[in-house]
Chain A
Amino acid sequence: QALVTQEPSLTVSPGGTVTLTCASSTGPVTSGHRPFWYQQKPGQAPRTLIYDTNNRHSWTPDRFSASLLGGKAALTLSGAEPEDEAEYYCLLLCRGPWVFGGGTKLTVL
């Protein structure tokens, strides 16, 4: 089973831009992994922000975008707001098993 790695923590200023990344131990992340991105706030169930690499759901704010960048999946937040402070997880659909990253704690400060 692959190991999926994310930055443990990042900080962004209100109104600023930050990119979170998601890497696989088995090699480059590709569109074949169909990367998902989730946001989770304390005491809440996760909320899916992005599916299939770069597709936003209807409830996903436009300030979130996603892509493949340098062999990793990437989630970019442009124009951070205080309510974006949360834990963010990526998910890769590997052959058979799915694998979550360890999560990135994003602080807006």
Chain B
Amino acid sequence: VRLEESGGGLVQPGGSLRLSCEGSGFSFSNFWMNWVRQAPGEGLEWVANIKNDGSEINYGDSVKGRFTISRDNARNSVYLHMNTLRAEDSALYYCYCAAGGVLDVWGQGTMVTVSS
């Protein structure tokens, strides 16, 4: 059971980036998926989640209107499209699946740095 993030990197303020997270070893299409971020030296911040079939989506206040979460169950993948990036979006972005006692798995994270 594994989640693997990719797509992080250095981007200029105002720029865009797309993060990807691929799941393996479990029935990806059955579970809600989350993105969680952690700025250097700071705490965890929940970013967004998406229902297993994509029919429900929620965002944290700090990213609403700028970030879009989506998924492709055929590819066992969830994505985070990030637009209008700011310095304060710089963080390690984790993919996370929490399903009570059935499944609980974190990725290792992908780093996003927003800087000119």
Contact = CB atoms under 8 A, between A and B. Distances in A.
Nearest to A56: B101
A98 B94 CA distance: 15
Most buried by A among B43, B45, B58, B109: B43
Interface of A is mostly: strand
A47 B61 CA distance: 25
B39 to A, nearest CB: 12
A102 interface: yes
Contact of A98 (B34, B108, B109): B34
Contacts, number: 52
A43 B109 CA distance: 11
Interface stretch (A20-28, A67-75, A78-86, A89-97): A89-97
Given A1-B60, A45-B108, A45-B109, A100 B46 contact: yes
B107 interface: yes
Nearest to A51: B100
A32 to B, nearest CB: 15
Interface of B is mostly: strand
A36 interface: yes
B59 interface: yes
Contacts of A1: 60-61
Given A45-B94, A97-B59, 6 more contacts: A38-B44, A55-B101, A57-B101, A97-B58, A98-B58, A101-B43
The 6 A-B residue pairs with the shortest CB-CB distance in the complex, in nearest-first order: A98-B46, A103-B43, A100-B44, A45-B106, A96-B58, A48-B104
Interface of A: 1, 36, 38, 40, 45-48, 51-52, 55, 57, 87, 89, 91, 96-103
Interface of B: 34, 36, 43-46, 49, 58-61, 94, 98, 100-101, 104, 106-109
